[in-house]
Structure 1
Amino acid sequence: MRRGAKRLLLGLAAALLLSATAAAGYGWMVYRQAERAAARMYEPLAPAEPPLAYAAIPQPTRVIEAGGGLGTAGSGQSESAGRAAEPVSGPFAFASEARAQPSPEEGDPFTVLMMGVDERAHDRGRSDTMIVLGVNPARGSMLMFNIPRDTRTELVGRGTLDKINHAYAFGGVEMAVRTVERFVGERIDYYVKVNMEGFAELIDLLGGVRVDNPFAFDFEGYHYAAGEIELTGEAALMYARMRWDDPRGDLGRNARQRELLQRLLQRLVSLETLGRTGELLDAAGDHVRTNLTFASMRGLALDYGARLRDVQTTELAGRGRTIDGIWYYEVTREERDRVRRLLADQLR
């Protein structure tokens, strides 16, 4: 399965959680099936002391140019080996320290890190899709933003500057979650991890998905017309994978991922999916892992699922930079402050 699968997994993860719990009203047998699937999906996250500072933020480094002149690294040119920017960590207390551990089923606001991974035998893989959600069930609102996989930040537990998607490869879910916490300056309450294997089949179980394609393009044997189009599972994977023909590159691809998430959520809370609940639950048990309990899933879906209609999306602005021959996406402290404030406001 190709890399684009990971981009669509974000939508599936949220959708399957809602599907699993909505089954409670469909009959006792399906309800028990949902309970068993949730038990298979459940993998708790080890508690950890929250980091109290932002991640190390690369600062422009003055580099001696050939001929003795001075230049500034990060201005579109590569840095030479050994001249990486000095990490800077400033004191910063999480806004979430004032929040008690949330009870989503009671309407408490909470955060979720959604990860799409490609795991194979003897290979943990990387979390090439990372989506942060701030959910406020009582208000019926949700904030959603991608963290680009090439974002340069400090990997918590390793103390090195690297691409953020490497955190999962080095330390699994726990390192990925702690690294994202440090990066966004907000506690992550829950995670949802989805393996890309079998994802196309799951999209097809939902009967496909409709998207509003901003421009026509051809990719991997598929033609995607501009406007509202219906996609099968495999076509959706390719739709999410395309990057090079998008005028906005990775940011354009991220925008398509977020739209897919919203459309899938809408589909899962509709009555159309009830007849496929059993199949979806079986697939969820195989491919989804989360520290959300069945009680939380059930309460969210039954009491608040239909109310989560106010979805706000934002993008992490940044710039590309090559360091020691490796391309990174760099986000300034000011931009992270902006997103942190949006997230903190959502959780009030």
Structure 2
Amino acid sequence: MEEKQPEKQPKKKRRVLRWLIFTLVGIFIFAAFTVGGYAYYLYEKGEKAVAESYDAGRDVKSSLREEEVEPLEDNLSILIVGIDDSTERAQGSNHARSDALMLATLNNADKTIDLVSIPRDSYTFIPSVNYATKINHAHAFGGIDSTIETVQNLLNVPVDYYVEVNFNAFIDVVNALDGIEVDVPYDLHELDENDKRTVNLKKGTQVVDGREALALARTRHQDSDIERGKRQQMILEAITDKAMSTSSLTKYSSLITALGDNMTTNMSFDTMKSLFVYMQSGSPSIKSLSLEGDDDMSTGVYYYKLRQDNVLSVRQTLQKQLALPEDKEITLENSYLVDHVTKKDSASSNK
């Protein structure tokens, strides 16, 4: 079919996920633990920002759950989606492809977090269009609903919550912090947020501004999808380090505005506070998982073809983390190359 074009590794650094949840989420709450009237102002501002970012139309209960999860009581999952929602690329939020996909699974009993990054070019089935293609197309085809549906079909675990962030938030956040220090892996001559080739960086450790950080996060011409993910994690860690430093306390108002203007989520403010408590209690250990695959150009279009045995291993790890029945093998009935989740959901709803 001609494709339609829509317009176990060692435990990773804990601070990576602390950005994804703590900086995106906890920074709204952190003000409550500072002192004085400024703290109250920030707390109220954070609550207002989350309310404006809240997706009231998205059901919190996953289609793979019988009941809605309760933070601090149940094991749960959070999908973090980074999108390139630029008018210059003529996409808009409903048609933008996802540039970053990460699923975090939280186990309440042993206070652990498993984090898997999903390469954007992974070849998998997209239920909303009824054929397989790159997973980042799912968002262009059907927004966050299609993305969640596709991730559930790939990993065979429920997605309970999501946080969707416009990659252009990088610019506002990094600028609000007066830049971040990163190690640029190679000389870079890259497009800026307006698709103009104006970003020029030399190899080495240096302080970059928002537009330079975004270009470094997005570029994928000099290395692989996997290396791109590592660069993004490096940048997220640098943002976390700067945001959590005492010198940045006075910048929180600007950070809250930058994040609130570029974020959509189905988590309420109370849910975020619960997750903050989770992150603070017991210092949760974080394990990073990889979806392994091979480069494929056999059709003339580049795909990252996932290795079935690795997909099974990642599924089993996530299912165990969520205390769900584990897949014994990947068959025609549960393959990520066919629609097994929505059909199963439809069959159960018709009973």
If the TM-score is normalised by the length of the shorter chain, which range does it land in? 0.7 to 0.9
Matched, 1:20 2:32: no
Q: Deviations over 1:19-46 (max 9, x none)?
A: 1122223322221111101101111423
Question: Structure 1 residues 197, 266: CA separation in 2 closer, same or farther (over 3 Å shift)?
Answer: closer
CA distance in 1, matches of 2:68, 2:283: 21
Assess if the C-alpha contact under 8 Å between 2:296 and 2:304 holds in 1.
yes
Paired residue for 1:102? 69
Which residues of structure 1 form unaligned runs of 5+? 1-8, 52-96
Instruction: Name the CA shift for 1:109/1:48 in 2 (closer, same or farther; >3 Å).
Output: closer
Distance apart, 1:149 and its partner CA: 1.2
Query: What does residue 301 of structure 2 align with?
Result: 326
Deviations 1:31-83 (A, max 9, x none): 111110110111142367746xxxxxxxxxxxxxxxxxxxxxxxxxxxxxxxx
Amino acid at match of 2:55: E
Which residue of 1 is the match for residue 319 of structure 2? 344
TM-score scaled to structure 2, two decimals? 0.72
Indicate the residue corresponding to 1:222 in structure 2.
201
| Equivalent AA in structure 2 for residue 32 of structure 1 | E
Q: 1:297 aligns with which of 272, 297, 301?
A: 272
CA–CA separation in structure 2 for the residues paired with 1:127 and 1:143: 21
Assess, with a 3 A threshold, how the Cα gap between structure 1 residues 49 and 18 changes in structure 2: closer, same or farther.
closer
Residues 1:157 and 2:169 are matched in the alignment:
no
Distance 1:120 1:263, change over 3 A: closer
CA distance in 1, matches of 2:266, 2:247: 28
- Between stretches 25-34 and 145-154, larger displacement belongs to 25-34
Query: In the alignment, what sits opposite 2:82?
Result: 116
* Residues in 2 aligned to 1:41 and 1:133: alpha-carbon distance in whole angstroms: 20
Whichever residue aligns with residue 29 of structure 1, its letter is: Y
Q: Which residue of 2 aligns with 1:171?
A: 142
Deviation at 1:306, TM superposition (A): 7.0
* 2:218 paired with 1:241: yes
* Cα drift, residue 327 of structure 1: 1.4
2:118 to 147, 150, 162: 147
How many residues are matched?
Answer: 288
| Counterpart for residue 286 of structure 2 | 311
Counterpart CA distance in 1 for 2:229 and 2:41 is 38
Q: Is the 8 A contact 1:143 1:311 kept in 2?
A: yes
> 8 Å contact 1:22–1:302 — kept in the other structure?
no
Q: Which whole-Å CA distance do the structure 2 matches of 1:319 and 1:161 have between them?
A: 16
What is the one-letter code of the residue matched to 2:84? D
Whichever residue aligns with residue 183 of structure 1, its letter is: L
2:47 equivalent in structure 1: 35
Per-residue Cα deviation, 1:90-140 (whole angstroms, up to 9, x for no partner): xxxxxxx59x53333x26432111111122457321112111112346644
Once the two structures are TM-superposed, the CA of residue 296 in structure 1 deviates from its matched residue by 1.3
Deviates more, 1:122-131 or 1:203-212: 203-212
Distance 1:316 1:35, change over 3 A: same
User: Using the alignment, how far apart are the partners of 1:140 and 1:212 within structure 2?
Assistant: 31
Q: Is the 8 A contact 1:16 1:268 kept in 2?
A: no
* Partner residue, 2:327: none
Q: Which has the higher contact order (CA 8 A, sep 6+)?
A: 1
User: Secondary structure of 2:81's partner?
Assistant: strand
Q: Say which SS state the counterpart of residue 143 (structure 1) adopts.
A: strand
The code of the aligned residue for 1:23 comes to A
Q: CA deviation at 1:216?
A: 4.4
Give the C-alpha shift of residue 336 in structure 1. Answer: 0.8
Q: 1:189 to 1:303 in 2, by over 3 A?
A: closer
Cα 1:48/1:21, change in 2 over 3 Å: closer
Asked if the contact 1:22/1:298 (under 8 Å) is kept, the reply is no
Q: Which amino acid aligns with 1:202?
A: V
